[in-house]
Chains A and B, each alone.
Chain A
Amino acid sequence: QKEVEQNSGPLSVPEGAIASLNCTYSDRVSQSFFWYRQYSGKSPELIMSIYSNGDKEDGRFTAQLNKASQYVSLLIRDSQPSDSATYLCAVKRTNAGKSTFGDGTTLTVKP
């Protein structure tokens, strides 16, 4: 079992829809959770971090964390073609430098 697993994808949604990206992790000690967006040929860009159970909203993005279920998700509201990218979930133990990444979910938003 991989330490961090994401929807296998690819995920395709129409413009204006809600895109839902999911991630599960195996290390119960994990304390920090991140979502990165990576455009083709570019490096990952941090879009959300979440540390406590519940929801965290930033513009059109909402991250949801449930530590009991070892589950973190990212919702993108009003999806735009510019949101088309690979989304990477990363999990980190507090005080440890290593972030463990999932394989990513490729999202395509169709106009």
Chain B
Amino acid sequence: KAGVTQTPRYLIKTRGQQVTLSCSPISGHRSVSWYQQTPGQGLQFLFEYFSETQRNKGNFPGRFSGRQFSNSRSEMNVSTLELGDSALYLCASSPGGGSYEQYFGPGTRLTVT
């Protein structure tokens, strides 16, 4: 099976802009979670989608949003970018339905200047 794919892999944006990141989970997986990883804060949970519904949300401001499509692909959006949003954004897919193991994609490295 193909693994989790994320696009784009690298992104440079300017403060105040918005960005959309995409994630395609492993085929058959219905749950997609998003994490932010920074050297100072480690891996922080953003949100989880299951069957197109947001099931859990972490402690991030409303500028961070996401959605999931009927084919389980997911997007996350960050509006009004701040310098502190520079991070590695990781998508993790899980089968759902009682299986809790998560498999990470390669991540999108976002740099905000």
Q: Is the CB of B101 within 8 A of A43?
A: no
- Stretch of B69-77, B78-86, B103-111 at the chain-chain interface: B103-111
Residues of A close to B92: CB separation below 8 A: 99
Q: Of B45, B103, B104, which one neighbours A98 at CB under 8 angstroms?
A: B45
Interface membership of B43, Cβ < 8 A: yes
- Please give me the residue from chain A that is nearest to B54 by CB atom: A97
Q: Of A46, A94, A103, which one neighbours B101 at CB under 8 angstroms?
A: A46
- On whether A98 and B58 interact (CB within 8 A), knowing A43-B107, A88-B43, A104-B42, the answer reads yes
- Please give me the residue from chain B that is nearest to A101 by CB atom: B43
Residues of B close to A42: CB separation below 8 A: 106
The number of inter-chain residue pairs (CB within 8 angstroms) is 50
Query: How far, in Å, is B20 (CB) from chain A's closest CB?
Result: 19
Q: Of A32, A43, A94, which one neighbours B104 at CB under 8 angstroms?
A: A43
Task: A104 to B104: give the CA distance in the assembly, Å.
Answer: 16
Q: 20 A-B Cβ contacts within 8 A?
A: A34-B102, A43-B105, A44-B90, A46-B101, A49-B101, A88-B43, A90-B102, A92-B100, A94-B100, A96-B55, A97-B31, A97-B50, A97-B56, A98-B58, A99-B45, A100-B45, A101-B35, A101-B43, A102-B42, A104-B42
The residues of A with any CB-CB pair to B shorter than 8 Å are: 32, 34, 36, 42-46, 49, 88, 90, 92, 94, 96-104
